[in-house]
């Protein structure tokens, strides 16, 4: 099986073993980004040994775009990507125009920008009961090259400014590939700012403690979803392995080291975690942190979940308590791409009987900085 040219550690090891200078690697990447279907011989000025090595062990991309689906308002584009092993993942491009404040937020400088929502695994082992992805179970981790190839495919459609690891999978359960892929994304030729990259996690405590040291200046988003451990375990079974007290301790340590706001993701479930008492408990849990709380309307996922969407008034009251009583910056997410099944928590890919069904990707995005 061939390796992706964007599997950085493997590529460098092969170059070192063959005595090829690794300075050629970014130049190869630059050419492939512009010409993802090129032949190796089309890349100019490489050592002879590099051409034979590339042809024998690497592909420009090991994944292919199976289909592209645009929302009716042309704001969201969903890419269905087939991996070399036959599995499918999705990536979603979301477009914003902050000059006009077009999509429900306050107008901010910066103009047109696109955000790419990336998957880190096929399936997910976290089993969150409000998310269809969890119903798939865990299939496999993506390599760093397979993660980066989602960006390469997206760049053929739109210039990407922001990256959010909020697609299929728990990014911190694929820690090595996550770190390597982000290091490539922030280096030449991609040169994305780490301040424009957000990693979302359900709260893998030991990985959160490492993240700042391995990837400084990164944005961290935490899928908290409940202010008490009992409710959290009810809707997020994986939370049993990461008690709320230990999670908050790791976040306190992370924030002390990084001096950055943390995004708190909170899905609103009718009668489960959306009452006034929950808002007060959440505020008291977060009162020593610099955070942005993002309230997420729940998208029903049919028979896969017993939960219901919170009433609009409940969401507004919840926000009012956090903002007005406790002065915690709180946003309500506007979902994008519902008409192409691109709403939060609805991704599930079923390959049984060779039939592919996709009911959406987590379009989960919040800028922590203008």
344 is catalytic: yes
* Catalytic option among 14, 265, 344, 366: 344
pLDDT at 333: 86
* Catalytic option among 90, 180, 265, 366: 90
| Contact by Cβ (8 Å): 351, 332 | no
> Is the whole model's pTM more than 0.85, yes or no?
yes
Domain 61-358, CATH class in plain words: alpha beta
pLDDT at 275: 97
pLDDT at 9: 98
pLDDT at 352: 42
pLDDT at 350: 47
Write the pLDDT tens digit of every residue in 175-200: 999 999 999 999 999 999 999 999 99
90 is catalytic: yes
pLDDT at 357: 42
pLDDT at 278: 98
Q: Which backbone phi and psi does 77 adopt, to 5 degrees?
A: -130, 130
Q: Which residues of the chain have pLDDT under 70?
A: 98-111, 132, 134-135, 301-305, 335-370
pLDDT at 259: 87
pLDDT at 304: 59
pLDDT at 299: 79
Q: Where are the domains of the chain?
A: 1-60, 61-358
């Amino acid at each position: 099986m061939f390796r992706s040219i964007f599997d950085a550690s493997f590529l460098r090891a092969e170059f070192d073993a063959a005595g090829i200078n690794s300075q050629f690697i970014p130049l190869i990447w630059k050419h492939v980004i512009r010409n993802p279907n090129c032949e190796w011989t089309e890349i100019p000025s490489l050592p002879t040994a590099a051409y034979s090595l590339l042809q024998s062990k690497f592909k420009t991309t090991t994944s292919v775009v199976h289909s592209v689906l645009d929302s009716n308002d042309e704001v969201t584009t969903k890419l269905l990507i087939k991996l070399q092993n036959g599995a499918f993942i999705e990536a979603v491009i979301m477009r914003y125009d902050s000059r006009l404040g077009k999509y429900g937020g306050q107008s901010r400088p910066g103009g047109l920008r696109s955000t790419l929502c990336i998957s880190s695994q096929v399936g997910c082992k976290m089993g969150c009961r409000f998310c269809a992805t969890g119903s798939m179970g865990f299939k496999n981790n993506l390599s760093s090259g397979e993660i980066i190839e989602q960006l390469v495919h997206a760049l053929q459609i739109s210039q990407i400014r922001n990256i959010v690891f909020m697609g299929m999978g728990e990014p911190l359960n694929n820690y090595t590939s996550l770190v390597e892929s982000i290091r490539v994304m922030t280096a030449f030729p991609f040169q994305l700012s780490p301040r424009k990259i957000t990693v979302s996690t359900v709260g893998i405590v030991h990985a959160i403690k490492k993240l700042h040291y391995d990837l400084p200046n990164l944005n961290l988003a935490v899928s908290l979803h409940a202010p008490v451990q009992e409710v959290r375990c009810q809707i997020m079974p994986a939370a049993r392995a990461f008690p709320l007290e230990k999670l908050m301790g790791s976040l306190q340590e992370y924030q002390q080291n990084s001096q950055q706001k943390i995004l708190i993701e909170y899905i609103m479930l009718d009668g489960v975690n959306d009452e006034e008492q929950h808002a007060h408990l959440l505020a008291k849990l977060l009162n020593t942190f610099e955070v942005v709380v993002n309230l997420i309307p729940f998208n029903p996922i049919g028979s896969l979940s017993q939960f219901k969407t919170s009433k609009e008034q409940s969401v507004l009251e919840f926000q009012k308590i956090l903002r007005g009583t406790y002065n915690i910056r709180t946003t309500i997410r506007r979902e994008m791409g519902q008409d192409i099944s691109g709403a939060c928590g609805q991704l599930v890919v079923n390959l049984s009987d060779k039939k592919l069904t996709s009911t959406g990707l987590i379009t989960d995005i919040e800028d922590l900085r203008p």
